[in-house]
Chain A
């Protein structure tokens, strides 16, 4: 009988259900097939006019009925991923989930179509100011509920019947990983036997794209060749590609999963974080917070760096991130890093922002289960300063016992997750 506690005496946390939706498709099966075939989900934006924009491509999800705003699409994507995860786990029927919800979600705000609608009702003859909007706003009661920050988590909590106060969180581009970490911690504390952890992002709107564009964070070179735009670790990488999607995990204590005979997809072995106080959008040049973050995750898993067989990279395709992530990995794993495969799912699905950590955790679990590593596509011009095995362009079978998935975000947010297979 394998122990239900880890080497530090804490309950082992396992995954019994996983769901994913990206620009490649809905569900694990379709995503895995396309990821291992090296396909890109990036395309020209058709949801809104792209006149006057420097970037006109994204990994939008266009195969669902249109939604009215980021909050509504993020909620729908989360529902689809969570339904898949809960169904797979068999833990309960939809609507009676026996644990709390931790949701990584983009910050919710009123958007231009609604702002224009309110402005149109303001009766202003000349300039439309906020004084007019405030006067007209009482005519739109539904917008209160929709545009609260807690609205998406609240609706999901109602739909899935999660317990207690749902947590909506943001750690920028690390949010999805933070949601999983909060779930792991709650189970380790013994507060619950299960947690529903979701990262979702459906935030591709003109203003959200322009905001990243104004920070020079987005790829601008491949508007006419979208599938080639995300080029992590390549010498000619020129920014990330915004994308949409959601990932969901049902976490359970190993003990309760075993007791109900659940199939175990993998183990959430360790979580690490370390904040970078260097700059709002850039990493400390010495890489110490990234190194510390990964090191903390490996230690939390009761492992040493030599135990890690694969790095699921944050790998955004920005000049800054990929350089710093490579430095961090090389420092932590030493000489061995030349032979540890590291690949970026974002080369195919783009950067799903608040969802990325959760989506990439689901893909890392599939990597462990299938003993096969999805590639980094568009790797045509290697960066000589990043001499790593990025699993270029073609998926590869490999022995992967323990994998680390990185998520780094604006505001100095760094989170790493270590995952492995069920103990023998």
Chain B
């Protein structure tokens, strides 16, 4: 029999994206179906640019901001919002117990340094010596710290004083799924009482566009919602920061924290993506959660990227469970890789708080209107290349 004191409750959320910062801004824009898209800066590639953010509000020291690149600023900012939302900001006693799991990629390149080397090296008399010389003299010494995957967590520790434990998972979308899964498992088993889980992504980076365009997966020329991109679809990178404070019910009750939602299951796998691999993997994961789900009061918030064939296979899975209305947040926010799954859990939490799903963003008719009440959200996280995950987020009264 499950011990309710070990329930994993969400008590804080912090979100930033092209829609703005914080829960309210996100909910408003999702209600009215607004997004923000940039088709020119990185043309032909489409991105969802970060809304203007005053980083000072969560990262008061300019010296700290200077030590970071934007992906770390986005994440440190979102983590601060989540700690504020949970009412634990500045509470050193609780902060020293928080187990942090960050899902991270790596940091920005210095584009000018790279470009100068790329231009000069073929003409250099001794190319290898030229590379060494340029890197030794042109790289900022602290750039490394802004690039290291685990230094988003490091910055959160320094800026917000989170000092329980700190772990960074890498590996694109799956890193975000597994960060939440491990945090929830540890809480359930009594290995942890309170966790800060999330990630950050700066989508306005040509080095990342290059990486995903190696596989031809970038959305080009024109924006379209993810379900309308067709077999030659792709994803538009988004700048996203998302953090969740997750606590055991016992810990939340003891400090009088108000739960926003409950995470009652997180499951993940990595199929080899043979024919229908995504669909089969999602069905197998669904089997592990389905007994807890009442589809008439449930909806699916999808992390579908727009990349094929993964998006078509996820669509087939969702179509097979068509009593749940679907929303793909990638149409609003773009795709943020590592923080996508935590972000969608945060948006599921907002929807559950409001007892209703937000507006469709889809001209294909796949996203149907939902008449409330909303009590459960199935969050999907299918990697553009590998990794599949599901979470069940439930309303708490």
CB distance from B130 to the nearest CB of A (A): 9
Do the beta carbons of B119 and A410 come within 8 Å of each other?
no
User: What residues of A have a CB within 8 angstroms of the CB of B239 in the complex?
Assistant: none
- B1: CB under 8 A from chain A? no
- B59: CB under 8 A from chain A? no
- A165: CB under 8 A from chain B? yes
Do the beta carbons of B106 and A149 come within 8 Å of each other?
yes
Which stretch, B50-58, B137-145, B314-322, B349-357, touches the partner chain A? B137-145
Do the beta carbons of B213 and A138 come within 8 Å of each other?
yes
In the assembled complex, 14 residue pairs joining A and B whose CB atoms fall closer than 8 Å, in A order, are A54-B136, A130-B115, A144-B217, A150-B175, A154-B171, A167-B169, A169-B167, A169-B168, A211-B143, A214-B136, A275-B163, A411-B166, A412-B157, A412-B158
Q: A52-B132, A172-B150 are in contact. Are A107 and B216 (CB under 8 A)?
A: no
User: What residues of B have a CB within 8 angstroms of the CB of A189 in the complex?
Assistant: 185-186, 188-189, 191
- A126: CB under 8 A from chain B? yes
Do the beta carbons of A143 and B151 come within 8 Å of each other?
no
- A51: CB under 8 A from chain B? yes
Which residues in chain A, 174-193, are within 8 Å of chain B measured between CB atoms?
Answer: 178, 182, 185-186, 188-191
Q: Which of B121, B148, B169 contacts A411 (CB 8 A)?
A: B148
Do the beta carbons of A51 and B132 come within 8 Å of each other?
yes
Which residues in chain A, 131-155, are within 8 Å of chain B measured between CB atoms?
Answer: 131, 133-134, 137-138, 140-145, 147-150, 153-154
Which residues in chain A, 98-137, are within 8 Å of chain B measured between CB atoms?
Answer: 105, 107-110, 112, 115-116, 118-120, 124, 126-131, 133-134, 137
Do the beta carbons of B214 and A275 come within 8 Å of each other?
no
How far is it, in angstroms, between the C-alpha of A33 and the C-alpha of B119 when the chains are bound? 49
- B28: CB under 8 A from chain A? no
- A164: CB under 8 A from chain B? yes
CB distance from B244 to the nearest CB of A (A): 18
Q: Name B's A-contacting residues (CB within 8 A).
A: 42, 45, 67, 100, 104-106, 111, 114-115, 117-119, 121-122, 126, 128-129, 131-133, 135-136, 139-145, 147-151, 153-155, 157-158, 161-172, 174-175, 177-178, 181-182, 185-186, 188-189, 191, 206-207, 209-217, 268-270, 272, 383, 385-387, 389
Complex: chain B residue closest to A278, CB-CB: B158
Complex: chain A residue closest to B153, CB-CB: A411
Q: A127-B119, A141-B215 are in contact. Are A281 and B145 (CB under 8 A)?
A: yes
Do the beta carbons of B162 and A165 come within 8 Å of each other?
no
Do the beta carbons of B151 and A138 come within 8 Å of each other?
no
- A324: CB under 8 A from chain B? no
- A207: CB under 8 A from chain B? yes
Do the beta carbons of B206 and A275 come within 8 Å of each other?
no
Do the beta carbons of A127 and B213 come within 8 Å of each other?
no
Q: A52-B132, A134-B206, A158-B272 are in contact. Are A141 and B216 (CB under 8 A)?
A: yes
Q: Which of B114, B129, B147, B389 contacts A49 (CB 8 A)?
A: B129
CB distance from B148 to the nearest CB of A (A): 7
CB distance from A403 to the nearest CB of B (A): 22
Do the beta carbons of B115 and A148 come within 8 Å of each other?
no
User: What residues of B have a CB within 8 angstroms of the CB of A116 in the complex?
Assistant: 118, 121-122
How far is it, in angstroms, between the C-alpha of A168 and the C-alpha of B173 when the chains are bound? 12
User: What residues of B have a CB within 8 angstroms of the CB of A140 in the complex?
Assistant: 214
User: What residues of B have a CB within 8 angstroms of the CB of A165 in the complex?
Assistant: 174, 177-178, 181, 268-270, 387, 389
Do the beta carbons of A191 and B172 come within 8 Å of each other?
no
Q: Which of A48, A124, A131, A412 contacts B154 (CB 8 A)?
A: A412
How far is it, in angstroms, between the C-alpha of A106 and the C-alpha of B177 when the chains are bound? 20
How far is it, in angstroms, between the C-alpha of A115 and the C-alpha of B116 when the chains are bound? 12
Q: A49-B126, A115-B118, A277-B157 are in contact. Are A153 and B106 (CB under 8 A)?
A: no
- A239: CB under 8 A from chain B? no
Do the beta carbons of A134 and B157 come within 8 Å of each other?
no
User: What residues of A have a CB within 8 angstroms of the CB of B165 in the complex?
Assistant: 273-275
Q: A49-B129, A149-B106 are in contact. Are A138 and B141 (CB under 8 A)?
A: no
User: What residues of A have a CB within 8 angstroms of the CB of B175 in the complex?
Assistant: 149-150, 168
Most buried by A among B178, B186, B214, B385: B214
Apart from A141-B214, A172-B150, A182-B167, what 16 extra A-B contacts exist at CB < 8 Å? A105-B170, A110-B207, A112-B117, A141-B215, A148-B171, A150-B175, A150-B386, A166-B171, A167-B182, A171-B150, A212-B144, A275-B164, A410-B154, A411-B157, A412-B158, A413-B166
A-B residue pairs, 8 tightest by C-beta:
A411-B154, A150-B171, A49-B128, A51-B129, A144-B215, A130-B206, A144-B214, A128-B118
Q: A185-B191, A191-B185 are in contact. Are A53 and B178 (CB under 8 A)?
A: no
Q: Which of B161, B170, B172, B191 contacts A188 (CB 8 A)?
A: B191
Q: Which of B118, B135, B148, B178 contacts A210 (CB 8 A)?
A: B135
How far is it, in angstroms, between the C-alpha of A249 and the C-alpha of B42 when the chains are bound? 45
